[in-house]
Amino acid sequence: MFVQEFIAAVVPLYLVATALYLYRALKGPTIPDHVLGVDLLSYNLAVLFIVLGIFFKEPILIVTAIPLALWIYALDIYVAKYLERRVMGA
C-alpha cells in the first residue's frame, strides 16, 4: 500500500499550519492570544507525533502524545488561574 508516500505528501500541510499558528503565538497582542497559540501548536504537534509514528513504523513512539495533551491542558488552567487571582485580590 501507499501509506508512507501519502503521509509524506500530507505532512508539509501540517508544517504550513504550524508556521501560521506560530505567527499568532508570537505576535498575539494579549496574553490569552499567546496561550491560545501555544494550545493550537501543541495539538498540531500531537497529530504530528502519531502520524510520524505510522511513518517510521515504530508503534512505541505513540506514547508521547498522551502526556502532551494532558500537560497543555494544565498550562491553560495555570494561566487562567493566574489571571483570575489578580482580579480577586488573593
| Residues 8-27 close enough to bind another protein by CB under 8 A | 8, 10-26
In angstroms, what is the minimal distance from the CB of 88 to another protein?
Answer: 9
Q: How far does Cα 41 stand from its chain's mean position?
A: 3
Subset of 47-76 contacting another protein (CB under 8 A): 47-76
In angstroms, what is the minimal distance from the CB of 24 to another protein?
Answer: 5
Helices marked H in 28-64 — which ranges? Answer: 31-56
Written as nine digits, the cell of 86 is 489578580
In angstroms, what is the minimal distance from the CB of 50 to another protein?
Answer: 5
Q: Is 89 in the site for another protein (CB under 8 A)?
A: no
Phi/psi at 28 (5° precision): -25, 125
CA distance 16 to 84: 34
